[in-house]
C-alpha cells in the first residue's frame, strides 16, 4: 500500500512539474518582447544554480574535476536546447514551440543507437515518422517548401534536449546527480552570459519591469531549480514508461496555456500536426518495459 501511495505521489508531483513547464511557454513568449533571450537565460539560470548551491552547499564542496568535465558536456547539450527553444520562440508561436520541443522524446532512441548502440524498436521508428510529419504540417501549413526560422531553431533545441536526455541517463549513474545538475546550470548560465555580452550587452542591466522579474523567478526557481530537484527525487518511484508518458503531455499543457493566455490558435494543419507529434511521442514510449530510463529536464 505504501509503495502504491509513493508511486501515486511521485506521478502526481511530476505531472505538476509538467504543468509548470507548460505554463512557461506563453510566459517566455510574452517576456521576450521586453528582454532579449540570452539575457533572460542568464538571469534564469543564475537564479537556478544559486538556489541549488545554497541548498546543497555541503554536497557541492566535494565536487571532483571529472564531474565538472562531464557536467560541462551535459550542460553544453542543455544550452543548445535552451538556445534553440528560447531564441526560436521569438519567431514562432508558443504552441508550436511546445509541440516541436516535445519531439526530443522521439529523437532519443535514434541518437541513443549511435551513442550507446541501444536497439531501435519499431515503435520508435513509427514515433519519429509521425513526429516529423507533424513538424512539417505545423511548420509548412500544407505547402511543400516553406521553412519557418523560428520552428527550425526550436527543432535545433529539441535535438539538444534529446542529446541532453541521453547524457544525463549515462552520467547520473556514474556521478553525483546534484553535482552534475549544479555544473549544468552554471554552464548554461555562463554560456548565456557570454552570448548576451556579445550580442545584447546593453540589455544586461537589471532594471526591468516587474513582469520580467516574475518570469525570471517562475522559470529559474520553479521550472528549473525546483523541477530538477523534484524529478530526481520522485522519478525512481515509477516506471520509465509511465514517466515518459507523463512528460509527453508537456506540449498539451503548453498549447492549453498558450491559448488561454495568448489566445493562440494553430489552424487545421497545425492542429493535425500537433496531434501527429503527440501521437508519435506516445507511441515511441510504448512497449519499452523496464529498459533504459529516460530523464527529462526543462
Q: How many CB atoms lie within 10 A of CB 130?
A: 22
Helix intervals (H) in the chain:
2-31, 37-55, 57-60, 65-89, 94-101, 104-116, 122-140, 149-171, 177-199, 210-217, 227-234, 240-247, 250-262, 267-284
13-22, 121-130, 205-214 — most confident range:
13-22
**Residues 79-96: what's their mean pLDDT?**
91
Can you give the pLDDT at residue 145? Answer: 53
Asked if pLDDT for residue 73 goes beyond 90, the answer is yes
Can you give the pLDDT at residue 126? Answer: 81
Can you give the pLDDT at residue 216? Answer: 92
Q: How confident is the model at residue 78 (pLDDT cuts 50, 70, 90)?
A: very high
Asked if pLDDT for residue 190 goes beyond 70, the answer is yes
Can you give the pLDDT at residue 185? Answer: 94
pLDDT in tens, 227-251: 877 876 776 676 555 666 677 778 8
By the 8 A CB rule, do 222 and 17 touch? no
Structural domain boundaries in the chain: 2-284
By the 8 A CB rule, do 135 and 277 touch? yes
**Residues 181-192: what's their mean pLDDT?**
94
Q: In whole angstroms, how large is the CA radius of gyration of the chain?
A: 18
Percent of the chain with pLDDT over 90: 29
What integer best gives the mean pLDDT of the chain? 82
Residue with cell 552547499: 57
Can you give the pLDDT at residue 291? Answer: 43
Can you give the pLDDT at residue 275? Answer: 84
Q: Which three cell numbers stand for residue 24?
A: 512557461
Tell me, what DSSP letter sits at residue 202? G
Query: Read out DSSP for 275-291?
Result: HHHHHHHHHHTTT-TT-
**Residues 22-37: what's their mean pLDDT?**
90
Q: How confident is the model at residue 114 (pLDDT cuts 50, 70, 90)?
A: confident
pTM: 0.83
Amino acid at each position: 500500500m505504501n509503495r502504491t501511495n509513493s508511486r501515486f505521489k511521485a506521478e502526481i508531483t511530476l505531472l505538476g512539474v509538467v504543468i509548470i513547464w507548460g505554463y512557461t511557454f506563453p510566459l517566455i513568449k510574452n517576456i521576450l518582447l521586453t528582454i532579449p533571450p540570452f539575457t533572460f537565460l542568464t538571469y534564469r539560470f543564475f537564479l537556478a544554480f544559486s538556489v541549488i548551491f545554497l541548498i546543497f552547499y555541503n554536497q557541492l564542496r566535494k565536487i571532483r574535476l571529472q564531474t565538472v568535465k562531464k557536467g560541462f558536456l551535459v550542460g553544453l547539450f542543455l544550452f543548445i536546447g535552451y538556445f534553440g527553444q528560447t531564441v526560436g520562440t521569438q519567431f514562432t508561436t508558443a504552441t508550436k514551440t511546445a509541440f516541436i520541443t516535445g519531439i526530443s522524446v522521439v529523437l532519443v532512441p535514434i541518437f541513443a543507437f549511435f551513442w550507446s548502440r541501444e536497439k531501435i524498436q519499431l515503435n520508435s521508428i513509427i514515433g519519429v515518422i509521425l513526429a516529423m510529419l507533424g513538424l512539417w504540417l505545423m511548420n509548412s501549413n500544407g505547402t511543400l517548401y516553406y521553412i519557418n526560422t523560428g520552428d527550425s531553431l526550436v527543432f535545433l533545441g529539441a535535438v539538444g534536449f534529446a542529446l541532453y536526455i541521453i547524457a544525463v541517463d549515462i552520467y547520473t549513474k556514474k556521478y553525483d546527480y546534484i553535482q552534475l545538475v549544479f555544473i549544468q546550470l552554471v554552464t548554461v548560465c555562463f554560456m548565456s552570459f557570454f552570448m548576451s555580452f556579445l550580442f545584447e550587452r546593453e540589455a544586461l542591466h537589471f532594471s526591468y519591469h516587474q513582469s520580467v522579474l516574475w518570469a525570471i523567478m517562475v522559470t529559474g526557481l520553479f521550472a528549473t531549480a525546483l523541477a530538477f530537484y523534484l524529478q530526481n527525487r520522485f522519478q525512481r518511484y515509477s516506471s520509465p514508461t509511465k514517466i515518459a508518458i507523463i512528460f509527453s503531455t508537456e506540449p498539451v499543457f503548453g498549447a492549453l496555456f498558450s491559448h488561454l493566455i495568448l489566445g493562440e490558435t494553430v489552424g487545421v494543419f497545425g492542429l493535425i500536426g500537433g496531434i501527429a507529434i503527440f501521437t508519435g511521442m506516445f507511441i515511441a514510449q510504448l512497449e519499452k518495459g523496464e529498459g533504459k530510463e529516460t530523464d527529462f529536464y526543462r
